Amino acid sequence: MATPHNEAEKGAFGKTVLMPGDPLRAKFIAETFLENPELVNNVRGIHGYTGTYKGVKVSVMASGMGMPSIGIYSYELFHMYDVENIIRIGSAGALRKELPLGSVVAGMGACTNSRFADQYRLPGTFAPIASFELLTAAVETAKELQVNMPVGNLFSSDTFYDASQSTMEWAKMGALAVEMEAAALYCNAAFAGKRALAICSISDNLVTGEELPAQARQTTFTNMMKIALDVAVKMENAR
């Protein structure tokens, strides 16, 4: 079941796929946490691996950067590879001073300046939201791992270098952090009748100006990774 973007065979992916943006983070997760990881896709350097975690078949594949990119990969996983759950595990910029570098947030919703949802021709504005089942499992898992994980709205931006300098405006409406993928992922999941969740680690803080170096973003967001992996196990055991 190859596509122009994915050379994996039908059945190569687990029912749950973790999606970091960075291919090197996908490689790190597979080699650090999965048993017997197998590289099942490497088209355009978008590493996709499948292995087992606590006896459960789990996959991890990069999404690339931005909503067009995750829009392609998540659509194909949902519709062409029978994936049921996609958990984005990415970096985000905090819009709140009290969110320290490396902390974890979960997006129960995703505000956006993107027009990704225009394709559905709805007579209004669609609100992209996470799967309640995945979010509940993630909150439970964070508590079990003793990880403080605030839950709230994310702001999915179409621009990294924003000429309008308006990103912080979303903080006044309660947005926790800015990232670039969750809204498109949530739209694709809704359209496919599948489940999605974005769990993000804070890589920089737009209020304080602090930021992590690129290498740390690839390899140190382990709390986020462990939460997502345990959610994959819980979803499989609940089937």
Q: What confidence tens digit (pLDDT) does each residue in 217-230 have?
A: 666 689 999 999 99
Residue 219 is predicted with a pLDDT of 64
Query: Which CATH number belongs to the domain containing residue 98 in this structure?
Result: 3.40.50.1580
Q: Residue 3's pLDDT is what? A: 85
**How high is the pLDDT of residue 196?**
98
Residue with tokens 């790190």: 28
Q: Is residue 11 part of a domain?
A: no
pLDDT of residue 218: 61
Question: CA–CA separation, 199 vs 44, rounded Å?
Answer: 25
Q: Distance between CA 145 and CA 162 in Å, rounded?
A: 36
Is residue 8 one of the residues assigned to a domain?
no
Let me know if 162 is a catalytic residue: no
Examine residue 10 and state whether it is found in any structural domain, yes or no: no
Domain count for the chain, please give it: 1
Identify whether 6 is part of a domain. Answer: no
pLDDT digits (tens, 9 = 90+) for 118-132: 999 999 999 999 999
Low pLDDT (below 50) residues in the chain: none
Question: Of 22, 82, 158, 204, which is the active-site residue?
Answer: 204
227 lies in some domain: yes
pLDDT of residue 112: 97
Does residue 207 belong to any structural domain of this protein?
Answer: yes
Asked if residues 177 and 202 have their Cβ atoms less than 8 Å apart, the reply is: yes
Residue 4 lies in a domain: no
9 falls within a domain? no
Those residues with Cβ within 8 angstroms of residue 101's Cβ, 6 or more apart along the chain or in another chain: 202, 203, 204, 205, 210, 211, 212
Range of the domain at 41: 16-237
| pLDDT for the residue numbered 48 | 96
Q: Cα 226–217–90 angle (5° rounding)?
A: 60
The pLDDT value given to residue 195: 98
